[in-house]
Amino acid sequence: MEGMDTKQALERFDQLPAVRNDEMIGSWAGSGLPTGHRLDGLLETLGWKGKRFEDQETVHPLVFADSRGEFLVDPAWLPARLLPHAGVLTSGAVGRVAESLSRRGLLRVATTRRPGARLRRVEHRGMVSAAMVYDALPIIDHFRRLDEVTLLGLMDARGLEPYFFQLHRQ
């Protein structure tokens, strides 16, 4: 899917079929869907690779990669109250500093082996579908099917407009 505004992304999301929880199991490569959201590009700038669903109780929402390989980031290290202001990390000099720090392994201080979320079936926008419920943040990621190997995700975070991303089965 190409970039669109939030209204168009919501319309597309609402047209897509639900996803079952068992279909989520496995590793997924992630990419943002540009909608003009203040978080557009942030995860990619920091080296986000995707999500890993081992079972319904063991979900790793923040899989990152750097020159040393993949690692899991504990979402509890991301202060929810700063999310509405996170867009500054992708712009100008601040964005370049964030990218540089990411390349130097700054996020590795937040590495974990523990899961950071659970998989549940949740009704959102009139449809029950697979959803990832964060343990430490007021965030639920809702999923709909684009095709057999691609999902559209909608991050529903308290205080923010919906943020959209895609997951591609690895």
Q: Can you spell out the DSSP letters for 125-161?
A: TTEEEEEEEESSSSEEEEEEEEETTEEEEEEEETTS-
**Res. 47 pLDDT band, cuts 50 70 90:** confident
pLDDT (tens digit, 9 = 90+) per residue, 64-99? 988 889 999 998 876 554 555 455 445 555 455 555
26 is a domain residue? yes
91 is a domain residue? yes
pLDDT of residue 48: 92
40 is a domain residue? yes
116 is a domain residue? yes
The CATH number of the domain holding residue 110 is 2.40.128.580
- Please return the burial class of 67, using the count of CB atoms within 10 Å of its CB with bins 0-12, 13-18 and 19+: exposed
1 is a domain residue? no
Q: Quick one: average pLDDT of 53-60?
A: 98
77 is a domain residue? yes
pLDDT of residue 79: 54
pLDDT of residue 103: 54
pLDDT of residue 148: 96
93 is a domain residue? yes
**What range does the domain containing 60 cover?**
6-169
48 is a domain residue? yes
pLDDT of residue 94: 46
pLDDT (tens digit, 9 = 90+) per residue, 102-153? 555 667 777 788 999 999 999 999 999 999 999 999 999 999 999 999 999 9
Q: Quick one: average pLDDT of 36-50?
A: 88
CB 165 within 8 A of CB 32: yes
Cα–Cα dist 87/95, whole Å: 9
Domains of the chain: total: 1
